[in-house]
Structure 1
Amino acid sequence: MTTNRCLTLIGAPTDVGASVLGASMGPDALRIAGIAGALRGRGLQVSDLGNLPGPGNPQAPASGGWRHLPEVTAWCQAVHVATAGVLQAGALPLLMGGDHSLAIGSISAVAAHCRASGRRLKVLWLDAHADANTPASSPSGNLHGMPVACLLGQGPQQLVELGGAAPVLSARQITQIGVRSVDPLEKQFVNRQGIVVHDMRAIDEQGMRAVVQQALADVDEHTHLHVSFDLDCLDPSVAPGVGTPVRGGPTYREMQLCMEMLADSGALASLDLVELNPALDTRNQTAELAVDLLESLFGKSTLVRP
């Protein structure tokens, strides 16, 4: 598991990038589910920055190929600043969303930190969706479907250049796991960029163990591993509290194995936990599941393991 034992929670209570209202309640649902206490139980020193301030959701129609660009930009800028501050202080930032457009802010800050410190960045994107639409390809204009494209330099200038350097990532720095819903033009973009995608067919055919081994094959002691975990990656039968559920995702046990293997890598250095929608949940069970999985990500196991 990660050698950094100081962790800071960052709440970003917004759903301005999403298609469905409710993700704005995600950070507080995670707090109610006991996220801080559970992580302290793993031996971590946990602090909580509280919820970042930001604009409300105007619920406006798409314009120019996207919805709510000024609001998403403001939230991503706030997340960028907060994440950069946590990394500068030597702690591990855990972004609690909020919708997945926020990852533009967190990952741009992580990338800048890695450039400054000379560390290699690897991003694991756990998601039912590729999130690689552009304004030209998106059917809806919702920016939570565009963060990967923005990080690769394709999208609104305000978001593409959020961290200064553009593009923030190269395709070889990101690996996706659990994908099973990709729009037609988005498929072409993913193929052109050469993004490594372990979709659900790969998990079905090879098993989660082999997929995670492949995803971590280039991770070593010089790697900063960032995990961007969209809770709709999980099958909605176990994680109903998400805005864009897609049938046929990883089971509870498959995702537990993924978390345990990521912990074993010892490379985890920053984390997004996004798209939790308590308005669609049942008695906060998806938030409680997320906390359970986080415990495994930070080293919880059935038996004592070296």
Structure 2
Amino acid sequence: MTFRPALTLYQGRAGDRNPRGVAGAAVVARALAHATGLDPTTVGTPAPPLGRHWETELDAARGDLRALAQHCDVLLAEGRPPITTMGRCATALATLPVVARHRPRACIVWFDAHADANTPATSTSGYLGGLVLTGAAGLWDSGLGGGLALQQVVLVGARDIDAPEQQLIDRGVLRLVPAGPNLGARLADAVGQAPVYVHLDCDVLEPGLVPTEYRVPGGLSLSQLNEAAAVLAQRERVGLEIAEFESAWEDGRPGSADELVEALQPLWSARTGPTPPPASP
């Protein structure tokens, strides 16, 4: 089967606390367009960040998130794997229920420093991005649908985990592949031969590799990310989404997504297998 992905740039709200995520999504989309030759379709309109409680943020974002869900629904119905760049991981409240409906057996491979599996009842921060997986699973009503089976989720590289999220891991509801040696082999064991839909939150990486809002020590290197991508590319690729890349570093230097895109090459390329590890900045 020909691998014919479609590139989408999401520019709407998703619980943003600064404008660098929306701008960063555009940076990643440009790098992917250059590398793949795909023309991105833009969904959503940039708006000033609110930095408010999750309910306010979700109400403000819901219109554009619904538009993204409808767009992904069309792509998956056509058999075109979506590659989506998004500012914040809360955008997956729109994409994951669509994936679950079209491909209920797909494994959701969630690269993130955080588990993002609190509920409104367990969250101490009230941050929308921390409620994504449970919202997509219908454990609370986002207004964007549910249907995701948490047992189909594999967390990769999560290390800043709240107590309620750790309970889900301990009970086997969520599976965790920690960062560390032999990541590719451990990930292959966790995923098996299931089709994969990959979410990458860039803070899964070791701080300093790409600009992100959160910096949690103990993350993946770019070569480890490439190793994991090569393993996942041996399975059917349902889609890829990239979040939490900020357009600039704290000192104002612009961020480049070229090495990130190169590390992810097995996931967006028509060919499979590892690529040479990108050089560290």
What TM-score, normalized to structure 1? 0.80
Correspondent of 2:40 among 26, 31, 48: 48
**8 A Cα contact 1:122 1:226, kept in partner:** yes
Post-superposition Cα deviations, 1:250-290, rounded to whole Å, max 9, x if no partner, equal: 1121111111111123x1121111111113374323x1222
> Out of 6, 9, 26, which is 2:7 matched to?
9
Distance 1:60 1:11, change over 3 A: same
CA shift for structure 1 position 158:
3.0
Q: Does 1:83 align with 2:69?
A: no
| Structure 2 CA distance for aligned equivalents of residues 246 and 96 of structure 1 | 22
Instruction: Kindly provide the amino acid, as one letter, of the partner of residue 256 in structure 1.
Output: N
Q: What corresponds to 2:109 in structure 1?
A: 124
Secondary structure at the residue paired with 1:28?
helix
8 Å contact from structure 2 (residues 9, 84) kept in 1: yes
Q: Which amino acid aligns with 1:169?
A: L
Which residue is 1:296 aligned to? 266
Is the alpha carbon distance of 1:296 and 1:90 closer, same or farther for their aligned partners in structure 2, counting shifts above 3 Å? Answer: closer
1:293 counterpart letter in structure 2: A
Q: Report SS of the residue matched to 1:227.
A: strand
Q: For the Cα contact (< 8 Å) 1:172–1:195, is it kept in 2? A: yes
Contact conserved, 1:72 with 1:101, CA < 8 A, in 2?
no
* Inter-partner Cα distance in structure 1 for 2:5 and 2:184: 27
Measure, in 1, the Cα distance between the counterparts of 2:165 and 2:275: 40
Query: Please, which moves more after superposition, 7-16 or 223-232?
Result: 7-16
* Mean Cα deviation higher: 170-179 or 67-76: 67-76
Q: Residue 164 of structure 2 aligns to which amino acid in structure 1? A: L
Structure 1 Cα separation of the partners of residues 94 and 255 of structure 2: 27
Q: Does 1:39 align with 2:36?
A: yes
Q: Aligned residues: percent identity?
A: 24
CA deviations on 1:123-179 (whole Å, 9 max, x unpaired) are 110111100111122222111111111122223x234xx23xx4x212221111100
The reply to whether residue 213 of structure 1 matches residue 213 of structure 2 is: no
Corresponding residue for 2:245? 276
Alignment partner, residue 279 of structure 2 = none
Q: What do the CA deviations read for 1:185-244 (whole angstroms, capped 9, x no partner)? A: 3323444562111123xx34xx21222221222x2xxx43200111111111322x1111
Aligned partner of 2:247: which letter? P
- Aligned-partner Cα distance in 2 for 1:224–1:78: 25
**One-letter identity of the residue aligned with 2:142:** Q
Aligned to 2:206: 235
SS of match in other structure, 1:98: coil
1:148 to 129, 133, 148: 133
Q: Does 1:103 align with 2:82?
A: no
Q: Can you list the C-alpha shifts for 1:67-92, whole angstroms capped at 9, x where unaligned?
A: 41212322321211110111122211
Aligned: 1:179 with 2:163:
no
Distance 1:134 1:18, change over 3 A: farther
SS of equivalent to 1:59: coil
- Paired residue for 1:59? 50
Q: Of residues 35, 45, 70 in structure 1, which corresponds to 2:59?
A: 70
Does the 8 A contact of 1:67 with 1:142 survive in 2? no
1:296: Cα distance to partner?
3.0
What TM-score do you get using the length of structure 2 for normalisation? 0.87
Contact 2:14 2:91 in 1 (8 A): no
Report SS of the residue matched to 2:69. Answer: helix
